[in-house]
Structure 1
């Protein structure tokens, strides 16, 4: 009896440690790629919001191309070898030095410095994508099938929770004290830890925080989460068998046309959603000259609505079905994106209007009507993007053959990786020739293509 209790306790500890890894890795994406370092790099390090958005597109596109080329095959090879934790450890070891190197990204760098930081970003982004592949692959081996959803949900909640804690802490310790116009009694008199605002150390500190957070909170996974036993397959045999398995799985899609059509549609609109998350704040920071404080306030605000979006997506899915729910959320993202690029400090709905720069209230941030409207549009992004993630998984569960559900979720993961480079490179291309407004707006091409293709997908289970 005591042995059984000990085994159950160890199992729960292993599962909790697996979920905690999401707490460890998620802040990198939110802090570095979305809210803090990305906008800082494009606006302050590069010094030109348009050129910065273009360069950021090439960086994320390059990292996406590496991920698309390697991740599916590495995942298949790992399945043959058996063990996943060594791959996760290698990815984390690859990420941490690259993230720490971002501390040295300062405005006014020579081209060599910018190239070094760009390479570091690409390495960290690739490592982050690899951790997702192998971390997800561990799930079926550590929890019963009927509890996979709840453990996965716990991990996502922990990831958002950890990020929210860091965002609030950085807002209190660095961003708000750095604002000379702020005189709130409960704030520190100056930026904590002696960070130099003039050299943007309060922006750059996001990199060491992300790296240390990743290192510390990755440890429980390696200590307490059980890994699958090694199969004894040699590396050369694993590569050969893994490549064959990927090719065989792709070929099998010919027998399931409806599922294949859905995965192609999902591939398009998912790439569009990721691009909105990656470039939405970068675009707004360049257009409205938002600093660290504005970005962090918006991040905290949108995190709340992202949580609500997951609940709304589930409710909508139950009421109207997965396909209609996806059409609503993808269509909502299309409308929100069109609204976003139609708003500038002097225009609404692409129409120039005088007096748009007049403050509407005494709050220190988001004082003009265009800024407030962009914040509201960002709320729509948070709601629709989170909802679409929830609906996407459910849609596949409704239409894939029950007997081969695991394999099709493997294809689902593959479809989320193979085109991750398209949207960033598209944004970079259109930004270069037409400016940041058209560059960000070009994401509509992917969203609309995925939206239209969804009309041809049937919400019926397919069996051979």
Structure 2
């Protein structure tokens, strides 16, 4: 269980530094050269990555279920994340680099999501049903702590000082680009324990046979949707509110820099605070998950996200923006963790990876809409505030559909 949680620590570095807070701001300001249109370009890239994940996640999930192995997939997709992160060191601050940077970031985001799919599928192997909520919450808490530690290291060693570590200069943004190398190293160090400890038998089927059988099982699952409406209502509900969360993750740093004029070091400090708040929320609500249940925990978290998200769209003062952003972050971790444990509770054990694949499919089938909607609205109006308004809409729609879900094991 410790190695499983440490894997989340490794994942967090990529999510916080590359996807959300540091590299997107660098891309918009230094590579693209305009924060508003640069954030729109970033949003389109994240949306395209979401479409790719929507197509691939159920396929690879079904194959993994038939092979009864996840380790090879963790190694393969994790290696892509690490290599792509390191490759972003070569992203010099020039508009001519924008296209290949967006392609690399998009590919690494796809690999990250697929690695996360198989990481999630390990959850029911590690804890009995009565402790699923706690372990899921602890995993998210470790992720936020990992994000805090990596961001703090990036801030102290590279972003903030006049003279960065290893003699890196501010010329050509070496001190910012070095954070991508930090992410690659961090990812490898913290994901390695799980890969070394995890023991799996020989594959039950070859890749080809597993693909054929897995796809047949996936087609059957889709045909059986009418017989499991409860599970599918949850998948759709979670897809909607996860779309809102994905937009926050993809655009949060850009929103802080573009709308409130926050500098690199201030964005990183904000990110550290947000991860602390999210980690606290995940820890507190992990116990609530097992005590009240996953659905009530998700419901309370969504209400909190809506109540804090609306003011974030309206405030003009930077201090108030930070206050409401920290408040919103308290509910991010519980939403993610309780949704993960709720899916496990609703899923037949023998189909966990397949259904996490569908979880990824339904999520990404909608999640690309968030960044796309942000980019379209921002481009049309020239206002990131208008673009971010889609977040609250997805939270409300997801909550409404969640209320139709009955918590009982499907199948």
| TM value normalised by structure 2 | 0.88
Local SS of the residue matching 1:106: coil
Describe the shift of the 1:239–1:280 C-alpha distance in structure 2 as closer, same or farther (beyond 3 A).
same
1:74 aligns with 2:60: yes
Provide the rounded CA distance (Å) in 2 between the counterparts of 1:385 and 1:201: 32
Local SS of the residue matching 1:200: helix
Q: Which runs of 5+ in 2 are unaligned?
A: none
Which structure is higher in RCO with an 8 Å CA cutoff and minimum separation 6?
2
Q: Which runs of 5+ in 1 are unaligned?
A: 1-14, 179-189, 345-369
Report Cα offsets for 1:115-169 as digits up to 9, x if no partner: 1111110111111111112223344456666666555455434333332222222
Provide the rounded CA distance (Å) in 1 between the counterparts of 2:3 and 2:295: 34
Which residue number in structure 1 is paired with residue 50 of structure 2? 64
Provide the rounded CA distance (Å) in 1 between the counterparts of 2:22 and 2:263: 9
Choose the corresponding residue for 2:3, options 17, 20, 27: 17
Which residue number in structure 2 is paired with residue 445 of structure 1? 393
Which residue number in structure 1 is paired with residue 140 of structure 2? 156
Which residue number in structure 1 is paired with residue 402 of structure 2? 454
Deviation at 1:289, TM superposition (A): 2.1
Local SS of the residue matching 1:443: helix
Return 123-132 or 88-97, whichever deviates more. Answer: 88-97
1:204 aligns with 2:164: no
Which residue number in structure 1 is paired with residue 315 of structure 2? 343
Which residue number in structure 2 is paired with residue 392 of structure 1? 339
Describe the shift of the 1:50–1:384 C-alpha distance in structure 2 as closer, same or farther (beyond 3 A).
same
Deviation at 1:99, TM superposition (A): 1.4
Deviation at 1:324, TM superposition (A): 5.0
Choose the corresponding residue for 2:109, options 125, 149, 154: 125
Which residue number in structure 2 is paired with residue 265 of structure 1? 237
Provide the rounded CA distance (Å) in 1 between the counterparts of 2:410 and 2:206: 36
Deviation at 1:94, TM superposition (A): 2.0
Describe the shift of the 1:299–1:315 C-alpha distance in structure 2 as closer, same or farther (beyond 3 A).
same
Report Cα offsets for 1:417-436 as digits up to 9, x if no partner: 44332211121221221222
* Preserved contact between residue 18 and residue 225 of structure 1 (Cα < 8 Å): no
1:230 aligns with 2:230: no
Describe the shift of the 1:196–1:391 C-alpha distance in structure 2 as closer, same or farther (beyond 3 A).
same
Report Cα offsets for 1:327-385 as digits up to 9, x if no partner: 443233234333222234xxxxxxxxxxxxxxxxxxxxxxxxx1101101111220122
Describe the shift of the 1:318–1:94 C-alpha distance in structure 2 as closer, same or farther (beyond 3 A).
closer
* Preserved contact between residue 43 and residue 285 of structure 1 (Cα < 8 Å): no
Describe the shift of the 1:29–1:308 C-alpha distance in structure 2 as closer, same or farther (beyond 3 A).
same
Higher share of residues assigned helix: 2
Equivalent residues in 2 for 1:38-187 (5 A)?
Answer: 38-110=24-96, 113-141=97-125, 151-178=135-162
* Preserved contact between residue 401 and residue 461 of structure 1 (Cα < 8 Å): no
Return 53-62 or 190-199, whichever deviates more. Answer: 190-199
Deviation at 1:79, TM superposition (A): 1.8
Deviation at 1:245, TM superposition (A): 1.2
Describe the shift of the 1:89–1:449 C-alpha distance in structure 2 as closer, same or farther (beyond 3 A).
same
Which residue number in structure 2 is paired with residue 373 of structure 1? 320
Which residue number in structure 1 is paired with residue 255 of structure 2? 283
Report Cα offsets for 1:169-199 as digits up to 9, x if no partner: 2222233323xxxxxxxxxxx3332221243
Return 66-75 or 129-138, whichever deviates more. Answer: 129-138
Provide the rounded CA distance (Å) in 2 between the counterparts of 1:424 and 1:403: 33
Provide the rounded CA distance (Å) in 1 between the counterparts of 2:350 and 2:72: 28
Provide the rounded CA distance (Å) in 1 between the counterparts of 2:40 and 2:131: 43
| TM value normalised by structure 1 | 0.79
Report Cα offsets for 1:277-305 as digits up to 9, x if no partner: 22122111112221221012112212221
1:431 aligns with 2:378: yes
* Preserved contact between residue 47 and residue 367 of structure 2 (Cα < 8 Å): yes
Which residue number in structure 2 is paired with residue 256 of structure 1? 228
Provide the rounded CA distance (Å) in 2 between the counterparts of 1:195 and 1:256: 56
Deviation at 1:317, TM superposition (A): 5.5
Describe the shift of the 1:147–1:395 C-alpha distance in structure 2 as closer, same or farther (beyond 3 A).
closer
* Preserved contact between residue 137 and residue 283 of structure 2 (Cα < 8 Å): no
Return 138-147 or 286-295, whichever deviates more. Answer: 138-147
* Preserved contact between residue 59 and residue 118 of structure 1 (Cα < 8 Å): yes
Return 22-31 or 400-409, whichever deviates more. Answer: 400-409
Provide the rounded CA distance (Å) in 1 between the counterparts of 2:410 and 2:82: 45
Provide the rounded CA distance (Å) in 1 between the counterparts of 2:286 and 2:188: 33
